[in-house]
Structure 1
Amino acid sequence: MPNSAIAAIAALPQPELKTVFDTDPDRLSKFVLAQGAIRFDWSKTHLTDAAMDEFLALADARGFAAQRDALFAGAAVNNTEGRAAEHPAERGEGNPESVARAKMLHSRMRGLIDAIEAGALGDVRHILHIGIGGSALGPKLIVDALDGDGVRYDVAIVSNVDGTALERAIEGFDPHATLIAVASKTFTTTETMLNAASAINWMVEAGVDDPYGRVIALTAAPDKAIEWGVDETRILPFSESVGGRYSLWSSIGFPAALALGWDAFESLLEGAAAMDRHFRLSPPAQNAPLIAAFVDQYYARVMGCQSRALFAYDERLALLPSYLQQLEMESNGKSVTRDGSPVEGPTAPITWGGVGTDAQHAVFQLLHQGTVLTPVEFIASIEPGHALDPAHHRALLVNCFAQGAALMQGRANDSDPARAYPGNRPSTTILLDDVTPETLGALLSFYEHRTFANAVLMGINPFDQFGVELGKEIARSIEADGPRGFDPSTMALIDLALGR
C-alpha cells in the first residue's frame, strides 16, 4: 500500500498553482486551518482533494491512529532502543504515571528556582548553560525568542567544544555571580563535560569558593552527576524516556524557566499541551501536524525535492531553522524502516532556512529562478516584537506575503528570459497571533508531531539517532589509541594538525 499510494498520488493531475483558486473557489477553506493562536495555510501548495484522499488512505494503511495512541500511552515506540518517547508527558499529556513523575520533577525544578531567587545560592546575575544538541538548541531558542518579555539574568548557552565559544560566552561574566547549568542526559557527553571542566577551572582561577556548589546538573543520570561533584540538592533529573531533541520541556529547560520566570515556562508547557490534544484528538483530515506531513511527503516522495526551506519573518524566531534542522534531520534522516528493511523512497529532506527579510537578499534568487524546486515555509507574527514605528512590522509582513504570492504566480517575460519567473513554486504560511510563551510552545509541539507523523508515513523510527555515533567513536579511538588504520588522507591531516 505505501508505494502504491505514492504512485497513485504521482499519477494524479498536478495543478498549476496560479489557477488553483480559480478552479476551486473553496480552496481557502479546505487548506487553511486555525488552531488556537496559529493559522496554517497550505493553500499555495500542490495538495488537492484527490491527493488528500490518497494520503489519508496511506495514513490509515500505516496505522497512524494506533501509532499516535502508542506514543501518548507511553509504549515503546522507539523500538530499536526499547524505549517510550514521553516528551508529551512533560506537558501533562500521556501515560498517567509518567505525567505524575514529570509534574514531580517540575516541582523540584521550581523549588530550586525559588531558592535561587531567594538568594540561597548567593549572588546570581549570570547563567552559563552548557550542553550540546537538544540540550542546548531548545533552551537557546526559547530564551532568544522570549527575551523581550523580560529576561532576569544574563544567559549564555554554550555547545561547541571549540574553546572560543566558551571564552566568548563568559566574557563579561563575573565568576562569583555565575551559575553553571550542565545539561547532559548521560552526564558523559564529551563536548559538554570538557566545557564544564573548563568552566569550573575558570571559577577556581577567579578564587570562587566551592565552584561545584554553583553547578546545577540537568540529567537523566543523577549518579553520574554526583560522581562528577554536583551536590544531590542541585541535580534536576528528567526521565530516560525523554529524548535529547525533545527535552526542552523537562529540566533541560531550566535556564529558560529561571531567566524568563516560572509563569512563562508554565505557559510554554500549556501551549504545547494544547497542540498535543489537537494532534491526539483531531480527525486526520483536520489534524495540522498530519496535514503538514502530507505536504512534506508530497514534495519529498512524489516530486523528489531534496530540501525544504524555512524562513522566519520575525527576529524572535531567528533560531528556529537551526532548532528544526536537528529535530527533523536527526529524527527522520534514516535509510531503514522500523523492522530494519530498506526504506521505500527518500526520507527526510534537508532542512535549511534563515530570517526574512535578510534571506531575500541572499538565497531567494535560487528559490524564484533556480532549477531546483524547493518547497518554502514562511512563519510570521501579526503582532510585532518591538515598540518602534509600525512601518517596520508592516514592511516585514508585506515582504513575507509578497514572496509567497510571487513564488506561486511567477511572471512571464518572453523578450528577456533573465527577468522571467516560472512560478508554480509552493509555499506554506504559518501565521501566529504573537510570539508568546504559549504560542511558541504550541508551534514547537506542532513541529514535533509533524516529524512523528512523517515518520509514521514512511514507516521509520524517528526516536533513535545511531548515525551520529560512528564519528564520535572514531574520535574517541584517536584520542585513546592514536591514529591507526585510517586512510592516508585522514592520517596526513592528523599528523599535520595534531603533530602525531
Structure 2
Amino acid sequence: MTRLTQTTQWQELKEYSNNLPHMRELFATDSARFDKMSLKACGLLLDYSKNRVNDDVLGKLFSLARGCELESRIRAMFAGDIINNTEKRAVLHTALRAPAGSVVNVDGVNVVPEVQATLAKIEAFVDSITSGKWRGYTGKAITDIVSIGIGGSFLGPKIVTQALRPYANGKLKCHFVANVDATSLVEKLKLVDPETTLFLMSSKSFGTQETLTNTLSARDWFLSTGATQADVAKHFAAVTSNVAKATDFGIDAENIFPMWDWVGGRYSLWSAIGLPIALMVGMDNYRALLAGARAMDEHFTSAPLEQNMPVIMGMLSVWYSNFFNAQSHVVLTYDHYLRGLPAYFQQLDMESNGKSVTLGGETVDHATGPVIWGGEGTNGQHAYHQLLHQGTALIPADFIMPLQSHNPLGEHHAQLASNCFGQTQALMQGRTFEEALAELASSKLSDAEKQLIARHKVMDGNKPSNTLLMDKLTPATLGALIALYEHRTFVQGIIWDINSFDQWGVELGKTLGNDVLARLGAAKEATELDASSNALINLFRQGHI
C-alpha cells in the first residue's frame, strides 16, 4: 500500500494548500457559499463555510477519503469486525444504542439482546432508587449518588449529567470522584450522609488503581460511621466485568452491571457506565440520548461522504493538521450547560489519535492528533481568543450553540449569540491595516501614533471555524453531538492509518507508576532509577524539601 503522503490525492492537496485565496475573497465571489457549505442532520446544523476550502479542495479531500477506503472501514466497524488490531477487538460502542431487534455480531454472537437486557436492568435499578423502594441499612431512601471512576468511566457521565441538568428529575444529587488525590473524595464525603448514599464503582477489572483506592476508602468511611460489612450491599453497586471481585467486596450480584471488551472507556457512557445519567435525568431522557446518537450513526453510515457531517469535520481536521501545520484545535461552547464538552472531546480525540505508528507498525511520516482544548463562551473571549485572532499559530475552531436557551432572560441569549457569530466573522475576515487606520481617523492621535496603533490592530483573518447549531439542547441533540465527534475522530484515524481504539501510552504510565509506588513505601532509599526519579521519591519519603 502506498504511504499516505505519497498518494496522488495528498500531493494535490499539498499544492492546493499553497494557492487558496483569502476567505474574504471566497465569500465575496460566491454569494451561495453558506448554502453550499452547510448541512442539517440529526437536529444539528453544521456551517463549514468559514473554512479555507473551495469546491476543488473539498473534492480532493473526499477523494483522499475514498482512497483510504473510508466507506468500507465504516461498514467494518458497524459490522463488528476486529478493527482494533493491536488488542484484537471489535469496536462496537455503536451497538449500545442499536435498536432492539437489530443484529450486531461479535464472534458470531448477536450482542444486541444482551445490550437490551442491560438497559432493562438499568431501568429497574433507576426506578428502585428514584421511587424510594431502595432503602439504605437504616431504612432511609437514597438521596445522594457518589460515582467513582476515572477516564471515560468518570468524564462521560459527569459531563452529560451536567449538560442535561435542565432535565434532572430533582430526586437525587450526584457527586463524581476520579482523582486519587484524597482531597477529591474527602470533600465529596463531607456533603453526604452514609445512611442515604449509594456508591457506584465503575471499573472493568475492579482493579483500576485510582478507582479501587477511592472505593476502598469510601467503604472504610461508610463502615466507620456505624455500618457493618453486611450493610455494604445496600450502599454499593458496580459496573465491572469482574463479578467475583465485586461480590468479594460486598456488592450484591444483582447490583453488578456488565462491561464489554468491545467498548472502549472513552465511548462507554452509552453502557451501564451511564447509570449516573439515567439516575439523574430518568430513563426516558437517557433513552432519548441513545436515540440521538443512533440517529447520527445512521447518518454516518448512509450519507454520501460529501453530505456526511462527521466525514466533513474529520476531513477538515486532516486538512489543517497535515497541510497547515495546525497543532491544536479549539472547541468553544456558547451554552453554560455544555461547558464541560471541550474536556470530553479532548479525551475522546487525544486518547484515540495521539499515535505515531501506523496500523502496520511503521512510524508515521505525517502529523496525527492535534491538541484539543477549549472552554465556555463568552469567557474565553476575554482570555485566549486574543491568541486565536492575532497569534502566530493557526488554530481551527468549533463554535457550538443552541438557538434557544433553557433560561431565557432579557437580552442574555441574543448577546450570547451575537458574540458567537461575531467571533466567527472576525476570525474569518480579520481587519486590514487600512481599516484599522480608518477607525483611528477621528482620534486626536498624531499621524505617527495612528500608524503605530493601526499596525497593532491588524488581524489577518482567514482563521477557519465551524459553527454547530441546534434548536435547543435536548438529550437527543446532545447524543447526536457526542456521536458526531466520536465519528469525526474515527474518520481522522482512518485517514492517518492509525488505531484510534488502543491507548498503550496510558498503559506505560500505569506500569511505571506502580513501580514508583512500591519504592515510595520501601524501607531503603531509592537508588536504582534515574537521578531525577530517585531524588523525587526520596524527597517524598522525607516529607519535606
Taking structure 2 as the reference length, the TM-score comes to 0.89
Residue 427 (1) aligns with residue 465 (2) = yes
Per-residue CA distance 1:348-377 (angstroms, 9 max, x = gap): 000010101000001011111111111111
Aligned partners of 1:400, 1:44: CA distance in 2, in Å? 13
Deviation for aligned residue 1:158: 0.8
Report the counterpart of residue 88 of structure 2 in structure 1. 82
Aligned partners of 2:154, 2:28: CA distance in 1, in Å? 47
Report the counterpart of residue 499 of structure 2 in structure 1. 461
Question: Is residue 309–residue 374 contact of structure 1 (8 Å, CA) maintained in 2?
Answer: yes
Deviation for aligned residue 1:484: 4.8
Aligned partners of 2:195, 2:496: CA distance in 1, in Å? 52
SS of 1:360's partner is helix
Deviation for aligned residue 1:438: 0.5
Q: Which has the larger radius of gyration?
A: 2
- Of 270, 274, 284, which residue of structure 1 is paired with 2:305? 284
Report the counterpart of residue 447 of structure 2 in structure 1. none
The amino acid of 1:336's aligned partner reads V
Report the counterpart of residue 413 of structure 2 in structure 1. 393
Aligned ranges 1:243-258 → 2 under 5 Å: 243-258=264-279
Per-residue CA distance 1:28-76 (angstroms, 9 max, x = gap): 1221011131101110001221111111111111111111111101111
Question: Is residue 86–residue 98 contact of structure 1 (8 Å, CA) maintained in 2?
Answer: no
Residue 147 (1) aligns with residue 172 (2) = no
Aligned partners of 2:244, 2:27: CA distance in 1, in Å? 60
The amino acid of 1:72's aligned partner reads F
Report the counterpart of residue 160 of structure 1 in structure 2. 179
The amino acid of 2:541's aligned partner reads L
Residue 489 (1) aligns with residue 527 (2) = no
Residue 121 (1) aligns with residue 121 (2) = no
Alpha-carbon RMSD: 1.5
SS of 2:473's partner is coil
Aligned partners of 1:112, 1:285: CA distance in 2, in Å? 43
Aligned partners of 2:245, 2:69: CA distance in 1, in Å? 39
Aligned ranges 1:53-452 → 2 under 5 Å: 53-92=59-98, 95=104, 97-118=110-131, 119-122=133-136, 123-150=141-168, 151-209=170-228, 210-389=231-410, 391-413=411-433, 415=451, 416-452=454-490
Deviation for aligned residue 1:228: 2.8
Per-residue CA distance 1:99-152 (angstroms, 9 max, x = gap): 222111111111222222342333100000000000000000111011122343
Question: Is residue 102–residue 238 contact of structure 1 (8 Å, CA) maintained in 2?
Answer: no
Deviation for aligned residue 1:214: 1.0
Question: Is residue 316–residue 385 contact of structure 1 (8 Å, CA) maintained in 2?
Answer: no
Aligned partners of 2:39, 2:529: CA distance in 1, in Å? 54
Question: Is residue 42–residue 292 contact of structure 2 (8 Å, CA) maintained in 1?
Answer: no
The amino acid of 1:120's aligned partner reads W
Deviation for aligned residue 1:241: 0.9
Aligned partners of 1:498, 1:405: CA distance in 2, in Å? 55
The amino acid of 1:54's aligned partner reads K
Per-residue CA distance 1:194-230 (angstroms, 9 max, x = gap): 0011111111112234134311101233233223331
Which range is displaced more, 156-165 or 167-176? 167-176
Question: Is residue 232–residue 250 contact of structure 2 (8 Å, CA) maintained in 1?
Answer: no
The 3 A distance-change label for structure 1 pair 354 and 386 is: same
Which range is displaced more, 448-457 or 12-21? 12-21
Which range is displaced more, 412-421 or 141-150? 412-421
Which range is displaced more, 459-468 or 411-420? 411-420
- Of 22, 26, 30, which residue of structure 2 is paired with 1:24? 30
Could you tell me which runs of 5 or more consecutive residues in structure 1 were left unpaired when the two chains were aligned: none
Taking structure 1 as the reference length, the TM-score comes to 0.97
The amino acid of 1:287's aligned partner reads N
